[in-house]
Structure 1
């Protein structure tokens, strides 16, 4: 990685922290560069404006979640793994993405005006995955995919506000997977 790439990433990291702490309106470029230990001209080498840096952060965050939804789709062979293992891995990946950078998650999942639009888009993508998995015979047909997707998003959104360590995150992924696959009724 070049020095310029490191500087750019540092500016994005610092900008995420500033935006998360102060919000977009109250964050100034001077705050970002002071915290990053660079000058304003250096900031402008990488970003046309504060809005451009903010939009890039939100875009990166959203793309990571979209990619995870696409990768989480189960296929007929389940890549040689049991269904619950694949789902647990996907849930754990979601939690890891959302907890990896709390500042970015606060901005992209809770602060930005487009957060609800992003969540709605993810719900639509998850529901489509469920439909495909229902057609493949992996999930029950009587479960409305949209309801399941909304329920999953609600659970994920709530647990995102916590900060479990890796071991707790894996236990949480196990709980979420079991809850969705098995329910809570005694058999």
Structure 2
């Protein structure tokens, strides 16, 4: 389906704002820069957005929704057979890194803009911890695991690996997803050597 001229203008403004916010930061980016780099006018900007804050919020809204859907995967684990859990969780980690790698500018904005990153991080940690606690009650997650600490660890590790490996292109989404899933699901000890 072809975009209308209005849809194309709005897309250009969103894309340009995303690039500038990621490069310069929210505070240092001006509306005049957004419209100039998009090849549009300030009048066009105000047809779609009330302010710089409005365009920023619209950028993050879809991204936030996608992140929340991926962080809610623990809820679906109860429907799986025990043999399918590992591949399911691994696939979800790969999808998470794919989303974050596909949107590097939004990833930088979402994780680096103080107010938004704290809000997003807190929602994701809470959702993961609640799902893990439920899975703990069902016997899927070990009872001795502190689910809030585990959720914080997952988010912190994911965030660091994005910056260290994904955004630099050193590792693929698949490589990162598989490694993180293996660490969290299997641990790092060789159980045959540790006596387990």
Q: Kindly state the Cα deviation for residue 3 of structure 1 after the two structures are TM-superposed.
A: 2.6
What TM-score comes out, normalization by structure 2 length? 0.87
Shift in alpha-carbon separation, 1:135–1:80, aligned structure 2, 3 A: closer
Alignment match of 1:45 (pick from 47, 68, 74)? 47
Partner of 1:77: 79
Deviation digits for residues 25-62 of structure 1 (CA, Å, limit 9, x no counterpart)? 21111111111111111111100111111121122322
Q: What root-mean-square deviation, in Å, do the aligned CA atoms of Structure 1 and Structure 2 show?
A: 2.1
Q: Is the 8 A contact 1:74 1:133 kept in 2?
A: no
Partner of 2:194: none
Return the alpha-carbon distance in structure 1 between the equivalents of residues 98 and 4 of structure 2: 27
Q: Kindly state the Cα deviation for residue 131 of structure 1 after the two structures are TM-superposed.
A: 1.2
Gaps in structure 2 of 5+ consecutive residues: 192-196
Alignment match of 1:163 (pick from 163, 166, 177)? 166
Instruction: Say yes or no: does 1:34 pair with 2:36.
Output: yes
Deviation digits for residues 80-101 of structure 1 (CA, Å, limit 9, x no counterpart)? 9711111011111111121111
Aligned length: 187
Alignment match of 1:115 (pick from 114, 117, 120)? 117
Choose 35-44 or 163-172, whichever is displaced more: 163-172
Deviating 4+ runs (over 6 angstroms): none
Q: Kindly state the Cα deviation for residue 79 of structure 1 after the two structures are TM-superposed.
A: 7.6
Return the alpha-carbon distance in structure 2 between the equivalents of residues 140 and 71 of structure 1: 18
Deviation digits for residues 103-131 of structure 1 (CA, Å, limit 9, x no counterpart)? 11111111242312221221111001111
Shift in alpha-carbon separation, 1:132–1:2, aligned structure 2, 3 A: farther
Shift in alpha-carbon separation, 1:33–1:5, aligned structure 2, 3 A: same
Q: Is the 8 A contact 1:18 1:27 kept in 2?
A: yes
Shift in alpha-carbon separation, 1:79–1:53, aligned structure 2, 3 A: farther
Gaps in structure 1 of 5+ consecutive residues: none
